[in-house]
Structure 1
Amino acid sequence: MLMQTPLFIRLAAFLLLFLAKASFAQPPRGPLVVSPQVNADKTVTFRYLAPSAQQVLLNGGQFGSSAVPMAKDTSGIWSVTVGPVKPDIYPYSFQVNGVTVMDPANVAFFPNERFKASLVDVPGDTPLVHALKDVPHGTVSYEYYPSVSGTTGSLVIYTPPGYTKNTSQKYPVFYLISGTTDTEETYFKVGKTNFILDNLIAEGKAKPMIIVMPYGNIAARVAEQTGKPKPADPVVRDDAEAVSRAKAFETDLLTNVIPYVEKNYRTINNRDNRAIGGFSRGGGQTLRAAFGNMDKFAWVCSYSSYLSPQEMDRNFPQIGANSANTNKQFKLLWVSVGSEDFLYKGTLEFMDYLKAKNVNFKSLITDGGHTWMNVKKYLAETAPLLFK
């Protein structure tokens, strides 16, 4: 009498055979690559696996290392050590045989409409204001709202520690806008807005607030969601096209974003509890939206941006013509820029215009250029001033 093999034994044998074949089908794994590696002396080692590459360079000009040659070892890993590097968060990339690429060993990247650089965080011996500390933490959420031309807009929203527990408490709102080619994620992933606010609130330096981070490029989003090519960014900061796009953002902010936030979050819905701020293009959008809607915002923060005297006189003459009212309406008008910023000269001219018109403002000029390292400084300086 023939005996049949039990079903579970046959299935187990089949599974073993399948796994054996699958293992042979897998390509060989390369060596483990650790990159970036921040060393105790604040030097940073970068590595890239490319056995067949002829040349690999490190790009990281914002921390002093641009097109630095890397050396290849016997396992095909290219590496270089730079520094010591001043503690901060820096973007970098590699050039592999002339092609710019991200670091595949690093999950941290710079959100951008174009090339997305990798990020390296060099911590300070004393934790920096954007560092993750042992304090109560707020929550970061992604939200989607109905926007212009039938599109869906996207927001990143920070709610402060205690928001989910103190369900009867309402909060002021800071609308924070990123720059050209940045996305709604940039203030979160590069600017570390949530950690900065967590730390300032824990130290009693800033009031608990909601921060809303929208995407500033309405034209690009409409094009993307309607199957059209992304339009080029305006070359001149105050030409008709730039002003028109800023107006489109302003319309979306006032008619879609703010109503959505105030419907879905516990907000204090008046001008004294609304702030607006932005970096670069977002700074220009900030100034235009605030100057054109003084009934909506009482706190205004311009980071590395300005409006020209010509545009001020043409579109916002009331700001200088009735400076007493301007000073009464705005509880804070902040202007900041780096001394090496390509917008430095224009920002100084904007400050001089405000001074000549007797418009009150606070200013901060730092070293450095048009960078997110400076943006974090400006945010850390202005957040404690809001809603006081």
Structure 2
Amino acid sequence: MKLKLIPAMLILMLFGFHASAQEALFNAQQIISPEIHENSTVTFRMYAPNASSVEVTGDFLPTEKIETPMGEMDGPGKAKLSKDDKGIWSLTTESLSPELYSYSFIIDGLRATDPNNPFLIRDVASVTNVFLVGEGQAALYRVNDIPHGTVARRWYDSPGLDMDRRITIYTPPGYEKSNEKFPVLYLLHGAGGDEEAWIALGRTAQIMDNMIAQGKVKPMIVVMPNGNVIQDAAPGEGNDGMYKPQFMVPKTMDGTYEANFMDIIKFVESNYQVKADKAHRAIAGLSMGGFHTLHISRYYPNTFDYMGLFSAAIMPREDATGKVYSDFDETLQNQMDNGYKLYWIAIGKTDFLYDANKEFRAKLDGMGMPYEYVESEGGHIWRNWRVYLTQFAPLLFK
């Protein structure tokens, strides 16, 4: 008799476990998170019946001071979710302004992505969920029903760095069927980024497609290189395989990248339909990329007619010993004397690099070197850099 009961008990136990697992799976699948409402409020939900606390952290919340490898900076704030009797935690925000936002959950102190939101993005080694709210500026970050350009990951030979390297290149709608030659914007990432940063975090393809369709930007090629000269490609995409990305890898700001930048230009001008002259070349970058832009354009003073420094990391560095950084004032003077059409500087009011940029502008003022200056709200964040691209690109190749 007992022998006959054991299988029955096992069946009941297994059924109970299966039912519990199915319930958990069912509950998770029925959750909508984030839910974006018509009034631009957003509800976050997380099924975590056994959790003691659930928080959400993201750039839609007021900032908090956090310690980073570059010193104290503004970071995303946190907000607590409330739990209902079904084990679902939730929070509804105030109405949010149009923007692309990123967020994560913190469950009992452990950071986690939202299992109900499949849209993820990597910034250095952090992976977060993203969502879009509203129209206006956010509409430039959407994929709309308009002609689209092409995004290609190419490999180019860099004799100066003695390796083949991966590069991301955007070509405008209709490029493949056109005999036209196009201008080129070289768009550089910041510390911890790579050739994926601007196309993913910066929404470059969406911005260019939308602004070209609106007639606000001239059709152009956008070249997004990897500024980490010891890498052939982004982590997981190159010969070194899969490894954790670092905020700052060796040799990124020692002059090696700037000195060998012409390898990139030669590849582009040999493989793409471009107008290969100064009047049709622009270069811009954020943070470390702004530092690179400053020095590349100065080191090759008759190469670019358009320069954009987005929150540029203009600061003294002990490893900045390369030839590129010598004769700074003289080469900057040469750049000014050769003439250019636009030297554009933008930074947020609370950016930790604000004072360094102010000092650099004072130097330019003392030289009588013309520039345009944009000062925005906020700090050292992608929200600003995406906006700067939408402001800078319409000024090019007029």
Quote the residue 1:250 is aligned against: 258
Which residue type is aligned with residue 152 of structure 2? S
Query: CA separation in 1, counterparts of 2:43 and 2:327?
Result: 51
- Determine which of 232, 248, 257 is the counterpart of 1:233: 248
Choose from 252, 273, 290 the match for 1:283.
290
Residues 194 and 234 in structure 2, CA contact (< 8 A), matched pair in contact too: no
CA distance in 1, matches of 2:147, 2:21: 46
1:326-370 Cα deviation digits (max 9, x unpaired): 154322111100111111111111111101111111111111111
In the alignment, the residues of structure 1 paired with residue 34 and residue 229 of structure 2 have an alpha-carbon distance, to the nearest angstrom, of 35
Helix, strand or coil for the counterpart of 2:385?
Answer: helix
Q: What is the TM-score with the length of structure 1 in the denominator? A: 0.81
Which residue matches 1:111?
Answer: 122
Decide which of 205, 219, 226 is 1:208's aligned counterpart: 219
| Residue equivalent to 2:111 | 100
Which residue is equivalent to 1:336? 346
- Partners of 1:229 and 1:101 lie apart in 2 by 17
Distance 1:382 1:357 in 2: 24
Identity of aligned residues (%): 33
Q: 1:231 to 1:165 in 2, by over 3 A?
A: closer
Does residue 362 in structure 1 map to residue 372 in structure 2?
yes
The equivalent residue for 2:49 is 51
Compute the displacement of 1:80 (Å).
1.1
Q: What's the secondary structure of 2:126's corresponding residue?
A: coil
CA deviation vs aligned residue, 1:224-277 (integer Å, no higher than 9, x gap):
64589877628xxxxx96641xx222244322x223322332122222221111
1:164 aligns with 2:176: yes
Corresponding pairs, count: 354
Taking the aligned partners of 1:25 and 1:43, their CA distance within structure 2 comes to: 35
Instruction: Measure how far apart 1:30 and its partner are.
Output: 3.8
Q: Which residue of 1 aligns with 2:185?
A: 174
Cα 1:115–1:358, aligned 2, differ >3 Å: closer, same or farther?
Answer: same
Secondary structure in structure 2 of the residue aligned to 1:111: strand
Deviation string 1:295-322 (CA, Å, 9 cap, x unpaired) is: 3322111101153599899542224545
Q: Does 1:376 align with 2:386?
A: yes
Using the alignment, how far apart are the partners of 1:100 and 1:229 within structure 2?
A: 17
- The one-letter code matched in structure 2 to 1:352 is A
Contact 2:149 2:172 survives alignment (8 Å): yes
Give the Cα separation in 1 of the matches to 2:215 and 2:262. Answer: 31
1:35 Cα offset (Å): 1.6
Whether the 8 Å contact between 2:301 and 2:338 is mirrored in structure 1 is no
Root mean square deviation of aligned Cα: 3.0
* Residue pair 1:56, 1:97 contacting (<8 A) in 2 also: yes
Name which of 264, 268, 287 aligns with 2:271: 264
Check conservation: 2:104, 2:129, Cα contact below 8 A: yes
Structure-2 separation of matches of 1:126 and 1:377: 8
